Structure 1
Amino acid sequence: MSSLFASGSALAYTGSKWNMPEGVTEISHEVHHLHMMAFWVCVAIGVVVFGAMFYSVFAHRKSKGAVAAKFHESTLVEIIWTGIPFLILIGMAIPAAATLVKMDNTHNAELNIKITGYQWKWQYEYLGEDVSYFSTLASASNKARQLNSGIDVNTVPNYLVDVDHELVLPVGKKIRFLITSNDVIHAWWVPAIAVKKDAIPGYINEIWTKIDEPGTYRGVCAELCGRDHGFMPIVVRALPEEDFKAWLAEQKKGGQQVASTAPVAAAPAAAAMPAADSGSAAVAAPDTKVAAAATAPAAPAAAAAPAAAGKSKDELLEAGKKVYMANCAACHQPAGTGMPPTFPALAGSKVVNGPKDAVISQVLHGKNMMPPFPQLSNDDIAAVTSYVHSSWGNKGEIVQAADVAAARK
């Protein structure tokens, strides 16, 4: 329920407070125009209908001696009250259909981006550019939203609609989105660019945009996807073409594949769980090469990266604490006490103190309420697992990145 209310409050930051935002794309302008046309048609109908009704009640009331007329069928009246609504609907349908056709025309895109929804984050892959990363709720919002956090959310900039890694796009270029999901149905929605499309497991939806103005545009998941539905916002940053090229080159130079330490909004701790929205394009897209890449599983690049050399226990614990506080502490608490029964305590846990292979497998594949975490790098999984194994009195095994790499095979 908290997720539902949080999602509603976040919508206030995604556009105009009282009306649909006009947006910054050609399609968004057309959608806004259709919206206003339908609004004024409804206003006109309301004025005519209620005006006639109120006039009739006032001018022909019983106190003035009015007597109700007695009549039955009238062919003329039937034609009028059938014909006028029909003409109104046709007049609205023609421009709406033209806009829908234009929205579905993803041909000749200059950039293709695959968007994958996870509980509860987004993955962005720049197809053909070897750049991929995860985007999750910003740590300031994630911290403030916790029960009894003591933080005034009004002091948190862009509360619940801020992320750690924005989707960066160029201005003036046609961008094709290939949208899917790794688990349940999500919906990727950014009002300012008039893009709203369901992310469905095992299916690829297509839509496109061409942003006219540089800026930052915010959105949210528009499909009730689970307990933390309200905590997976979307932030799009549109840059001039030259700035975008520089940004993309920097990502390639830095080997940006996975935001390895990105916080997962209210996700369970890695080793914590005990054993126990059509009009979509099909997978075959016009661009065969891009479509083939889009339908491939969202395997994180970190999985393919060679495992780092073994680290000392102190190094693992220092890195593991950071990963734990960013990803796990929201549910399992900083001291590992958990929030039973949904999120068990890690302190003294038989699972955490058990064989490391079983724990690593559970982190990678998930279990029960715990989602899988293959998007974390081998180093991060090794570090956080070692941290919970060695904290709060636990005496489990130290895990190295090589152990995680072996478990992925």
Structure 2
Amino acid sequence: MPKISEKGKVMPASPIRKLTPYAEQAKVDGKTVYHLNIGQPDIETPELMLDAVKDIDFKVWSYTSSEGTLTYRTKLAEYYNKLDYKLGTDDIIVTAGGSEAIIFAMMSCLNPGDEVIIPEPFYANYNGFACECEVTVKPILSVIENGFALPSIAEFEKLICEKTKGIMICNPNNPTGYLYSDEEMQGLRELALKHDLYIFCDEAYREFCYDGQAFISPMQLTGLDENVIVIDTVSKRYSACGARLGCLITKNKEVIATALKFAQARLSPGMIEQIAATAAIDTPDSYFEEVNKRYTKRRNTLVEALNKMEGVFCPNPGGAFYVVASLPIDDSDKFCQWMLEKFSHNNQTVMMAPATGFYATDGAGKNQVRMAYVLNREDLKMAMLCLEEGLKAYPGRIVN
């Protein structure tokens, strides 16, 4: 019998989706499942984006340019330049989601065996992308006690060696919701220049910053034109996860030229998605202001409920729409499965993502879960009631 590849054997499963069979069975059993496990917003996609799809009238559904249509890249450049990124259309490659942009960035900038430092916990699929590209992830631990703030630059420097080629961050962070400060970003700037490193910045949640806190991109910092690669996507900004459209942006011409070769090898991004996303860029600020207010209220509802539970601690995040909470449990993987498989409260239960899958360090996150506040506040309240009762009933509860 033919055997699968060694790479296939070590490719990690998604911690966000691996419990789906248990959730589906719970539904078959008649339970209501509150999905806090995945960042699928329930916010309506902007009408401009949907109307652009409805109004499409073409005779041939054709290829687009490998780098994306000029129309879309022109609109993207306008959007980014309002943020003071100072981009041209040639600094942008349109991709099939942010995922493809990350893979293109890794393959363009890193050789097999090269190392990239990533503050953990981090978006679980970074592990998978690194596996595909034969890149080594060097985790640097951020801790829940200080809200998952960036570790000190001195701690970063302890990990830097001749194989170190870059640092990857997600800002605001998935899974923690932490929003990096100007001081932290300046520290990364100095580190990148000192050691000639790439900064890969996943900015999928750029629009979701709360309490008046400012978003800082490395693209806005001086002296980093050759070092910064930004990853972006329409998935969260426009509540359009199914569009699978993202982009890679950098002013490093060699990186762009190299990434374009990978883009050409996969032919082109989708035409309809780019038509929709071109229209979406004209979404008025009022849409994002309203979305921001809704997520702020949801965050407050979730964090307040969690911190009222005995033995639970949850930092108040500054952005994105996730929290990581520590629970009085022995094993988050077992607990999350138990909640779906064995528990219900008023025939309801909660699906969460075990935080272990967001760490590269063995054993980290064993008592933590990630939750996405992408449900309405009433559903969040019901989910928290279920969680509180589940914690009381869980056989592996840790009693202090």
Bigger Rg over Cα: 1
If asked which structure has higher relative contact order (CA below 8 Å, sep 6+), I would say 2
Q: TM-score higher than 0.5 here? A: no
Could you tell me the TM-score, scaled by structure 2's length?
0.24
